Structure 1
Amino acid sequence: MKKVYCLYRVSTEKQGTENEIPMQKSECHKFVRQQGWMITKEFTEKVSGFQVPLQERKELFEILAAAEQRQFDILLVYSTDRLGRQVEFLPFYGQLEENNVQVWSTKEQRVSGTEHIDTLKQFIGLWMAEGESRKTSMRVKDTFTQLHEAGEYATGNAPYGYKKVDTGIKRNPNKPNTIKKIIIDENESEILKMIFNFAGNKGWGTPRIAKYLNENGFPNRKRKIWRTSSIYRILRNPVVIGRKPYQRSEKINMKNKKRKEYSYKEWKLQPFNPELVLIPEELFTKVQELTTNRGYEKKTDIPLNSNVLLSGIIYCGDCENKLRTDFSYSKRKGSDGNQEKVKAYRYRCYSPGHINHDGRKNYSAKQIDYAVSEMVKFAIKNVNIGSIQDAIKNYKSKEVVLNNQKLIEMENEKVSLERGLRNAENELEKFFMGQSKFNENRIVNMIESFETNLKKVNKEILIVQDEINDIQHKQIDIEALLTKLNQWSQIYEDSDFDTKKVIVGDLIEKVIVQNETIRIIYRTSFEGIFANRIQN
């Protein structure tokens, strides 16, 4: 009596709980009884036959080891795609055959043999199964993409500040699944607004925000402590301005689990949804700049982490070197009448002795900070609004229109290339069935050409999208000034020290001090709005 090993496989846990495994088992047992064989061992797998490679299928290696020891005569499966859906599995058949083990299926009967025609049949069968898996994967991806492009919920957890609710509406009346949607969570949204206020209006970094939330009794969604990485992800997520992101990563290869992580600038965004807006767009844009400038992507001179106003942007007028910050202790009488030590901060030039330096090297930080603050308040009160409107016109639609036209052309080209790639892949399938008028090399060359051109177009699309986003962000920044500048003077007057540092960092490129003279150089985006000022 022939000894039989049975292999049952499903792709997901869900399939395994919905009678898929019992059904395969029942059919295999029935087949064995009809043939008069005997089952000596059974294996069950819950892995993808397409995405999981052979070297990660431990049950198959156990079966091969048993075959080499002549422990069984037949490997029985419900259908051949239960073994796998990749042509790379073809050698597995050969190794079993070398050890006199036959592969049988309840659907296809015997599926292995020593003849060349058997090998060809197996190759074509596996190739077609792999193709079906690719098509299924593409259909699922296309379905999710269509949902995202329509602004609908597709899958996954709701981002922080939001919650997932069931609408009770069925997309397909013949299926039980109902449509879900994302709405604002009243409790989490208050903490989220606090996070953006700390980051944008006070200039706090993610470690300081996390520390504040943890020390003041604001647990995260899982009732655990906040991590800086979680704060960073919240600050980068444009869902707070009504644009939910998707495709933040993508599989490098359909046959394994490796993924390419995209930077936040490369994320695709759903259409604008006003129901999701929690944060003003100008605050979100400002937070992106501050977060980037903190060192995630590049260095900056914006003073965010010191006890003086101008750290990092104040220079010596004699030698043009950046001034450093230090302090000395002094004593003063406290409110209780006792002597107490206090820090007196100063800006100091540490230029080498060989550099010509005729002026002062030490400046009181308190005096310089006060003088610059007064100059900033004066500049804000006397701003030229007309020059801002001119700046808006300069950034207006001409450049955006040209880039949008270019983007439409590229998107059309992408659609054509994708259609051509699908046709070429279909032609390859016809070739294996003996129905194609093209030879194999020509079809493969066509596929490679379409894939190369498609990668090139996708890269060019990302570049143009970045250019459009940059122009739109500049427009947003300038337009925000119209409503913000009239309020800034009072905001600056009433702000805490952290907020003053952020405003100064937004406005000022550098401060140059030379003896009793202070000169402010404003940032490029404010040229023509503020006159560069000198105070003696």
Structure 2
Amino acid sequence: MEINAPLLVRMLLRVSSGQQLDADGDLAVQRNIVTAYIAKHREWMLDTVKPEYYEGGVSGYKNSVKNRQALQDILADAENREFQILVCYKDDRLGRREDEIPQYIKKLASFGVLIFTVKDGCITPQNHTDSLINFIRYWHAEGASRDTSQRVKDTARENVRLGKNQGGKAPYGYHLVFSGEFSKHQRALKKKVIDPERAEIVRYMYNLAGSCGYGYSKITSLLNEDERLRLLSPNGIAWKSGTVRDILRNPIYTGYLAYNRRTRVDGHFITLDHTKWILSEKCDPNIRIIDPALWNRVQELREMRRNAVTPQKKNASAVSTGTGRALPLLDILYCGSCGRKMINGSKYNYWTTKDGIKHRSRVGCYRCPTKHQGGLCQGKALYRADDLETGIFAFVTDCLTAIQDNTFLSDKLAEENCSRKKIISEKKKALATRIKSLQRDIEILEESIPKALRGEISFSSEHLSELIHKAKEKREHLNNIMKEFAHETMDCNTYPDSTGNLPAEKSPTGHITDLPPWPKAFMDSSVAEKCAVVNRLISRIDICNENIHIHSRICLDRLPFRNPAYKMVSKQGL
């Protein structure tokens, strides 16, 4: 008699906030319910080596699958065939993102792992209709998360308006103490209390900004020059201009709570204009550090300084000698003194011509972030882009000339072109499969509308229509990508083969000699194209005052340079 081995089971537990992690919180409740569910299945056995994966304080709506370590660990273990069943309390414990979770479930299924929930049983799709139901399930879950998020924001706005503390870390100059009150969930509530020593530093900053007219960088430098003040910085090491900026524009120091000072866009926070802030109706004298008049004065000076740097177009004629976009060396340029990567910067020049017209010029610059934040660095704060790039581009154009003159160019081009065509072909095949699957989804949804109208299924015709519209938009997007792949395939056919010739129907004589000189093509290219070429040739550039050190990615000894000094660049620097 053959006895089948039990299926190895693991659990996934997730809570959205850290407050649910205690012994009596939601995490423990989930564990008990899921364990009991597993015990009901005689053919299952809970893994004793690694029984569970858990996430504490992780949102299944805000965080994507690739940024959730637990889901990545599950995927890796499933690929290694370490277990066969994954059990959750509810389907939303996996996540609430309609465009990712259904695909994640299919990925686990490809490794032989089925997903069960206590509420819905097996949610791993067995056919195309199950896949569609999963999509609708997580589409609904994502919509519910949006509604919850909106309710939380509305509650926070009302609490701030009434002057109630919203939790979180205390701003600089305060610390948190127990308020003596409890929430409806019997959690101890805290309140802000002024920290006398750090509050004095806040007043010092506002006096420097309001009375002396100092900017963020100057104030940061003064704070870091004093060892006692430097040790009292938030990180205990040194002040940063970004920290000083945040303190000088936070209305909490006047005794008013604020909400909606920033918003999240595409995973990044952006600061909102103060007209969109929501302030408490009354001032709390117990947390007031700065007089409101001084705070308003500092904001006026900040606004005046910003307007002085960016004058109105009607009052000035702008002559741009740089670029407002990313500079081509930003990915590889480092300060040779402090070792930090350079950031995008600008320098403005102003003058008035004899006819009384005001002019300004804007020059792109590479900026040392340490110097910019008032830190200690022996290098320069700014390096003009046009001066620095002249020397670097001379090295790059010499590299390109040497490479283009090399005899193995034709074979290398043919090899890379063949590889490129293969990659494009694989992408087109995968894309065609996705388009075909999407078309089947649309057909099933359209067939379901009459059933919805007759009340035979639980989804309304409006919901199905919305899903159809969204699926068609996605199909159109994928078709556009397919057209781009077709253009890339045509481009590949214009490259030479291993003999240096083009296909017979398109082959002009001497194709290789007809290629434009690479140095000229490089100098005529866009900033993004220059950046791509430079990054392929150079791994890193260190600059400190007048000294430049270039780390090359290629073996320079094999190339016939016009300038012999370049041969030692990869070892000693330029």
TM-score calculated relative to the size of structure 2: 0.47
- Larger RCO: Structure 1 or Structure 2 (Cα < 8 Å, ≥ 6 residues apart)? 1
Rg comparison, structure with higher value:
1
